[in-house]
Each structure stands twice: as C-alpha cells, then as structure tokens.
Chain A
Amino acid sequence: MIDALAGVLVIPAAAAVLLAALPGYRLTARLNVLAALLTFVTASSLFVVEPASGTYLLVDDLNKVFIVLTTFVGFTTSVFSASYIGHEIEIGRLTPRFVRFYHAMYQALMFAMNLALVANNIGLMWVAIEMATLTTVLMVGIYRTHEALEAAWKYFILGSVGIALALFGTILIYMAARPVIGEGVDAMVWSALMGRAAQFDPALLNVAFIFLLLGYGTKVGLAPLHAWLPDAHAEGPTPISAVLSGLLLNVALYALLRFKMLLALNPEAIAPGPLMVIMGLISCLFAAFMLYRRRDIKRMFAYSSIEHMGIIVFAFGMGGALANFAGLLHMTMHSLTKSAIFFAVGHIAQVKGTQKIADMGGLTVTNPVLGWGLVLGVVAIAGLPPLGIFMSEFLVVSSTFAREPWLAIILAFGILVALGGLFLRVNTIAFGEPRGPTAKAEASYVPMFAHLALVFMAGIYMPAPLVKGFENVARLLG
C-alpha cells in the first residue's frame, strides 16, 4: 500500500523514467502535465489523510504547506511549459532529443524537491537538494549557447560550493547529536533531533548553523552568495526560471527553517534570528538597487526574486507568530506571482525574439493580454494594494515596526526602491511606442491568470481554514 507521502515521490520518479523513454514532444508534454497534476492531487490529499511519519519520511504541518505549494506551481508550470516548448521546437531552438531530456529532468527535479521536503533525515535532505541542484544545472545549460554554458558552469560551481558547506554543517549537527542520541541513523532523524536538541553541545550547533546558513543560503540566493542566480534565471528555458524562483529557492529556505527551529530549541546556542535578519536585509536592499541597471527582462525579475527572498528570510529571522505568518504568506504569494510573471515573460521573449528590454515596447497595444498580464504581475510583485503581496509586505513591515522601528524603516525603504525600479522598466516594456516584432503569441494564458487570480483573492479575502493553517505553522516555527 502506497500512501500519499510515498505518492509524491513515486509519481514524479516513475514519470521521469517514462518520459526519458518516450519520443514525440506533444505526447510527452501532455504526460508531463498529467504527472504533475497527479502529484498535486496526491499532495493535496495530505490535508485529508495524514500518513504516519517514519525514519526516513516525515509529514507535519510545516512541510505540508511547502509540498502543496511546490506541487501546485509544478503543475501550472508544466502547463505553461507545454506551450513554451512547442514554440521552441517550431523555431528550432530545441531539438526533440533535448525536449525528451528536458521533460525527464523536469520530473526528476520535482522528485528531488519533494524528497527534500518530506525527508526526515538531514542526510537524505542534503542528497535531495544536491540532486535538485544538478538537475537544474543541466537544464540551465540546455540551449548550449555561449551564455547558457557560462551560466550553467557558474551555477554548478557556486551551487556545489554551497552544497559542500551545507554538508559540513550537516556533519557537525550529527557530531553534536551523537553524544546525546547515540551513534547511528537516529542521530540524523529530524523527529529525534527536535526532541533532544536542548542537550546538544551549543558551541557545535553554532558553528554548524553558520555553515548551513552559508550553504543553503547560497541556494536561497541571499546576497552576497547570489551570484549564480541572475545568470541561471536568464539563460535557461523560462519554465525553469519559474520553477527556480517559485520553488527551488523555497526548498532551500525550508531546509534553513528546519535548522533554525532546531537551534531555537537549545537555550544556550546563538539565536539564529539576527543572522537571518541581517542577510535578508542586505539581500533586499542590494537587489532593490540592482533592479535599476537591468537590461535583460529575465535578469531583472531574477533580481526581484533575490529581493523577495531577502524579505522572507528577514521575516522568519524576526520570528514570533506574526512575523512568521507574514513570512509564510509572503513566500506563498511570491511563488505564485513570480511564476506568473515568468509565464508572461516567457511568451513575451518568444514573441519579440529577444530578452533585451530595449527591444521591447508597447506590449499592451500589440499583445494586450500578455502586456496587461505582465503589468498586473508587476503591480502584484511590487506590493501595491489590494493584491496579496501588499498584505504580506504590510504585515512584515508593521510587525517589525512594533519591535525594531529602524529595521522596519530600512526594509520599507528597500521595498520602495524596488518598486521604483520595476515600474521604470515595465513602463518601457508595456507602454509607449511598439518596438520589435508584433506577432501574435500562441500562448496558454490560463496558468498565468490562475496564479494572478489567487494572488488577487488572497489580498482581499483569505479563507479561515487557510489562515488557521498558516497560524499553526507560524507557531511551530517559533
């Protein structure tokens, strides 16, 4: 009997093998969507029937939220990917052989991310994140252009270094747990670690957390460890940019949050909060200013992702029920909005045949649906009311203001700077004289508008069970 927990792993794994074997991109694209949908349905069932956690797999309130978000965005992205890839094949940018590889890797990535989220073992989680990194490296380099290779190489090197540091931190956690829990597998199991964390050697935990923060922080894209992120987003296929921004960053963040919870249980260890607050704030400010100099549309939104991950890490670093709630909400909203933006950007870049902002213009006139979709997405991501991100940013800033007014002011300044940068660029893309080719796009608008509708709804009305669920998780995070 396979329960839902195993289901979210088995379905993508089986799909990856199947897709690697099947020819024909139309069929495989549909199968890809089907597998992603099945995974999403299975993941949703976790809310109805909660399977028991074991030594290797774990399900609790915290990772349920992450799993459902991951599988949902994974599903909508696969729908977008089907039409995106169709166009890439038509113009001959990708050959069918590469598309087969691409689909298999897509499902392998979904498998790795789900594994990282459900792993009950810090070693297993590390392996899963490493696997997710390697699959995305391969996909970033899939176009085999000069720039794509450079981006993939940079991502590979920096990602490996990050992942290596994280492994060192993982080993240190084991060293700290061993005297208390005893040798063997138990000393790497989350549920066992969480129960006995108070007795661990605090000095070892401190050093371990530094390594974990630097290691997984590289994967989250925190400045100054973010250098891989803009290149990887800009040069890979756009569905992968959407998955990177919307999901992979979250998965790394999830790992970081778990270790933060572990440290919080030990009264003598350093408080991980301030470190996260500082890194979050630096990332937010740095990325906000970087937005002004961007000339490539995908790189611009990659920097915007750094900014938002900064805000999220900041919120979780502040801690407390309200800030955690805000961080969680912001993470969800950012995933939905940013992937919606990348759906629009992908089709825009296909219509215009370039990613250079200077060669785009007047999109709302030539391609109204795409143009207005992008404008709406940017309005959402910049944090204007009444959309969901406004809500979460408002919560982050106001909850901080009550405790550390200065930090709140700096953060609000960063958000405003980013808003200015985004609008400056979008103004030239969406309005004004039409520039560049004006062909009609054969796009699937459903995923984009579905995401935006969800974000819009969250800004106006959040269903009570959702609020309750988030509050639960926020308490869990401490």
Chain B
Amino acid sequence: MLRGNLSFDVAHLLAGSLVLVSFMQLYQDRLYALLNVYALHALVLAASVGWQAFVQGAPHLYVTAVIALVFKAVVIPAALHRIIVRLGIHREIETVVGVGPTMLLGMGLVALSMVVMLRVTAEADPLAREDLAFALSVVLLGLLMMVTRRNAVSQVVGFMSLENGLVLAATGAKGMPLVVEISVAFSVLIAFIVVGIFLFRIRERFDTVDIQALDRFRGERQ
C-alpha cells in the first residue's frame, strides 16, 4: 500500500513539476535562458517517464526516457544555442502579449484542462487521470507560448515543450504500444531536422530568424 502511494505521489510530483517548468518558460525574456529552461523541462520529462517505466514495469519506456534525456535535454538545446551564436540572432525574446497577461492566460488554460480531463476520466485509474490532466496543461501551455512569441526559435521551443506534453500523455496511458513512443521520438527528430533546414534557409535569405521580418507582402496587398 505504501508502495502504491509512493509511486503515485512521485509521478504526481514529476508531472506537476513539468507544468511548473512550462510556466517558467512563459516568462523568460532571453533566448539562452529559455533554452536552459527547456533543457530542464526535458529533464523533468525524462525523470517522469523513467518513473513510469519503473512503476508500470514497462522496460521499453526507459528508451523514451533516455531519448528525452539525451536528445531533448542536451543535444537540441546545445544545437539551438550554437545556431543562435552562429547566426547572431537577437537574444531578446519579443512577445506579442506582456508577461503578466500571458501568465494569467496560462493559469486559465491549466484550470481548463483540469476541469475537462478530471471530469471525463472519473472512472480511469487515478494515476492516468492526473497524468492526462497535467499533460493537457503542458500541451496548452506550449501552444500558448507559440502564439505569444514572434521569434522563430522560441516558437520552436514552444512546439517542443508541447511534444513533451504528448510524451507525458502517451506514457501515462498504461500499456500503449511502442509504436507511439517511436513515432513521437521520430517526429521530434524530424522536426529538428526540418527546423534546422529552415533556420539555415531563413538565414540564407534574410539574416534573421524573426518571424515578423518574414511577414511581408504576400501577393495580396497592392
């Protein structure tokens, strides 16, 4: 019984921390700091997935945890860091909405996902239900970040933290086939490649990765 409670508490703690780190991403105003927080995000995810693998006795989940640890927490932030240095991108993050309103919006989204998920999963086992609610919060916070940022790099970070939320949901769903874990890792990999190409091309043309600079005449205005 003690074991059962402990496993639940730790999973709960880790998933909750992931939401907390998502909030931390929202108020960063420097790109380097944002990347560090993202690395922390991935680290917490890796711990959470690892714990799930241990509790569920599902060794294949360790693979997902290792991918999160190595790839998302180390390789991607380092690579993005390099890109920022090499391209001389502005290191301030330009936001569309101020930090205060963004945080309030984020709290609203978390409340929303709690209300929705906890209500509909009333009959599922408590661990899966909490995980799912937290996962949805992380997904929504990632979306919020993509919407409120103008800078391409921070949009990508928003997208990646959104994917972390999906991984959390997939591991919380007990016994979900390996197909999905692979696919999520796969998509992150692809996303990274694509992003790399895009950053390269964008740099080639305009010497900036600021989305606003891309938002030019599109054949519709005269």
Chain A contacts to B: CB under 8 angstroms: 121, 123-124, 126-127, 130, 134, 137-138, 141, 144-147, 149-150, 152-153, 156-157, 160-161, 163-165, 167-168, 170-172, 174-175, 178-179, 183-185, 187-188, 201, 203-204, 206-207, 231, 234, 293-296, 299, 355-356
The CA of A171 and the CA of B169, in the complex, are separated in Å by 7
If A150-B218, A207-B117 touch, whether A160 touches B173 (CB-CB below 8 Å) is: no
Known: A178-B173, A187-B175. 16 other contacts (CB 8 A): A124-B179, A130-B183, A130-B187, A150-B216, A150-B218, A160-B191, A168-B135, A168-B136, A168-B166, A171-B170, A172-B132, A175-B132, A178-B175, A187-B177, A204-B121, A204-B124
A207, B198: Cβ atoms under 8 Å? no
Q: Do most interface residues of chain A lie in helix, strand or loop, or is the interface mixed?
A: helix
Counting chain A CB atoms within 10 Å of each CB, the highest count among B123, B143, B202, B218 belongs to: B218
Contact of A174 among B173, B191, B218, B222 (CB under 8 A): B173
Contact between B201 and A126, CB atoms less than 8 A apart? no
Using CB atoms, name the residue of chain A closest to B220.
A295
B interface, size bucket? 35 or more
Contacts of A174 in B (CB 8 A): 173, 176
A137 to B195, CA, bound (A): 11
Shortest C-beta distance, B178 to chain A (Å), equals: 9
Q: With A and B bound together, what is the CA distance between A137 and B119 in angstroms?
A: 38
Q: Kindly state whether residue B120 has any CB partner on chain A within 8 Å.
A: yes
- In this complex, what residue of B is CB-closest to A151? B218
Q: How far is the CA of A127 from the CA of B188 in the complex (A)?
A: 12
A294 touches B173 (CB 8 A): no
- Out of A152, A165, A171, name the residue touching B176 (CB < 8 Å): A171
Tell yes or no: B109 within 8 A of A by CB: no
User: Do residues B219 and A234 form an inter-chain contact, with CB atoms below 8 A?
Assistant: yes
A149–B219 touching, CB < 8 Å? no
Quick one: closest A residue to B182, CB to CB? A127
Q: Is the CB of A150 within 8 A of B215?
A: yes
* Chain A residue, CB-CB nearest to B159: A160
Produce 1/0 per residue, B102-129, CB < 8 A to A: 0000000000000011011111100010
A149 close to B205 (CB less than 8 A): yes
| Interface pair A149/B173, CB less than 8 Å apart | no
> Is B211 part of the binding interface, using a Cβ–Cβ cutoff of 8 Å?
yes
Query: How far is it, in angstroms, between the C-alpha of A246 and the C-alpha of B109 when the chains are bound?
Result: 36
Inter-chain CA distance A165–B135, complex, in Å, is 12
| Cα A156 to Cα B201 with chains together (Å) | 14
**B47 partner residues in chain A, CB cutoff 8 A:** none
- A121, A141, A164, A167: which contacts B201 (Cβ < 8 A)? A141
Is A146 touching B159 in the complex (CB atoms < 8 A)?
A: no
The distance from the CB of A120 to the nearest CB of chain B, in whole angstroms, is: 12
Contact B214 A157 (CB under 8 A): no
Roughly how many angstroms separate A179 CA and B207 CA in the complex, as a whole number? 53
Residues of B within 8 A of A178 (CB): 173-175
Contact of B186 with A by CB under 8 A: yes
On whether the beta carbons of A157 and B159 are closer than 8 Å, the reply is yes
Q: Is the pair B219, A137 in contact by a Cβ cutoff of 8 Å? A: no
Contact between A161 and B136 (Cβ–Cβ < 8 Å)? Answer: no
- Bound-state Cα–Cα, A407 to B78, Å: 55
Judge if B155 is at the interface, Cβ distance under 8 Å: yes
In the complex, the answer to whether B219 meets A296 with C-beta atoms within 8 Å is yes
Q: Is B190 an interface residue (CB 8 A)?
A: yes
Contacts of B120 in A (CB 8 A): 201, 203-204, 206-207
Complex Cα distance, B60 from A182, in Å, reads 18
Top 6 closest A-B pairs, CB basis? A183-B175, A203-B120, A296-B219, A123-B179, A150-B214, A127-B183
